[in-house]
Amino acid sequence: MKTRISPLLIFIVLALVVAALLFTLPLNLFPGEITYQKGLSTYTLKDHNLSLSYFIGMGLNEGDLDNVKSFKLTAWGYALAACYILLLPGIIAYRVYISQNKK
């Protein structure tokens, strides 16, 4: 009898591993916007790649946030993060489920 690995367990473990990697490594993969404010002038850099680690304060050097008012992901950046964190482990878990239920 073969041992069966739960696809739900695979999904949860892979999602946590991918999220941990994306939130700890400074990988600039996700489209976002950075708003700078210097004096009275404010300007926004659009289509700038950001890392998820910036949102928890990791991967930033001491002068990286000089004059930065805010930074955020665009809708495409959120969608890409969801694809990496949820859909990629979901597809792998589904593949395991299909291979276990093959007749």
pLDDT digit string (tens) for the chain, length 103 residues:
577 889 999 999 999 999 999 999 989 999 999 999 988 899 998 889 999 998 888 877 777 778 888 889 999 999 999 999 999 999 999 999 999 988 6
Instruction: Enumerate the domain spans of the chain.
Output: 7-100
Secondary structure (3-state) at 55: helix
Q: Which residues contact residue 85 at a Cβ distance below 8 angstroms, ignoring those fewer than 6 apart?
A: 15, 18, 19, 22
C-alpha distance from residue 22 to each of 7, 43, 70, 99 (Å): 22, 28, 20, 28
pTM: 0.84
* CB contact at 8 A, 50 and 28: yes
